[in-house]
Structure 1
């Protein structure tokens, strides 16, 4: 029973967080990021400002917080350790993005894809969010390196892991900007795969455990 109660509490917390963030992104898009306050978001979501801050410690977090880091880390941890670092990281980035966008693009974005696109546009257009995004990018890099596990047990291996993660994330960033400029008409996982291929070669995301 205690485990079930903990699961229910976690589910309710996640639902509240998603609802608050959805209202925040909508208001930021409609009114502008600087013109919208945390109190505005709380009122739209039907919660108190304190509840907003419990889920999102800063205003920037209302846009930037997501589950991408955990998705990427889980896929890297499940990948064969014998594969090259860049292939493990690149495949995880493509697969996690497929999950976030429900594998849809080409002008037929899912609700999740539309939400991701709206957040990305805000990150690109808002100076305060661009600055904070660098912190998030570093946190994602750390999550990737940690997920690689035994690959980072000595200083040289850790250096290689950080370099590979940083390079893969730079390629992904290029794809994200292109996707936003294209208004989400392209499939984001394909753009990320193309960016990774341009940087590292065509086979970087092909040899995955579930590939035919």
Structure 2
């Protein structure tokens, strides 16, 4: 993505978060976000296919899948997935925690966004399950493990978003610790 595209996307995100904070998610339109960012509504939709996509987006799926595939086989599937996610998190540049918290807080407080979160989670679950299957895990067990890991991460991140303390990495590691230690 070019510098100009990245700046436009950042302006749209900033405008959306400001409007969601003052008007609420439901009352804010894509047209209002675009106008606040100084772009057309068409430009908004080039960057985000839906208004919800401003808040729910996961560019990390390929990194997570590859990280899991690099795990040595032999551990149970939940541990393999948790370890792979942990290593992927360590490989990635840290996102802006305040922005992530603001986005997730809106999701946590807006019931209509739960379906969008579930759809994004389902896509990540497929990536995790495929990576586990590539390691020789039975497809059924891989799907269950992927659901467990993503469920734990979502629960931890939504809870973290509603607080004002702790850092994002700690919330992620805490969820993964619960999973890994439950299987130890």
Question: Is the pair's TM-score, using the shorter chain for normalization, greater than 0.5?
Answer: yes
Within the candidate set 89, 110, 124, 2:108 is matched to 124
Cα 1:100–1:18 change in 2 (3 A) is: farther
Q: What residue in structure 2 maps to residue 61 of structure 1?
A: 53
Give 2:84's aligned residue.
92
The CA RMSD over aligned residues, in Å, is 2.7
Matches within 5 A, 1:29-68: 29-68=21-60
Aligned equivalent of 2:126: 142
Any residues of structure 2 matched to 1:1-212 within 5 Å, and which?
10-12=1-3, 13-97=5-89, 102=94, 112-148=96-132, 150-151=134-135, 157-183=138-164, 185-201=165-181
Q: Structure 2: how far apart are the matches of 1:56 and 1:179? A: 25
Q: Unpaired segments of 5 or more residues in structure 1?
A: 1-9, 103-110, 205-212
TM-score between both structures, scaled by the size of structure 2: 0.82
Deviations 1:46-93 (A, max 9, x none): 221111112211111121123232332242234334554323321233
Superposition TM-score, scaled by structure 1 size: 0.72
CA positional deviation for 1:98: 5.3
Give, in whole Å, the separation in 1 of the partners of 2:45 and 2:38: 14
Aligned length: 183
Listed as ranges, the gaps of 5+ residues in structure 2 are: none
Q: Deviations over 1:127-175 (max 9, x none)?
A: 22112111111111012123345236xxx71111111111111221221
Q: Which runs of 4+ in 1 moved over 6 A?
A: none
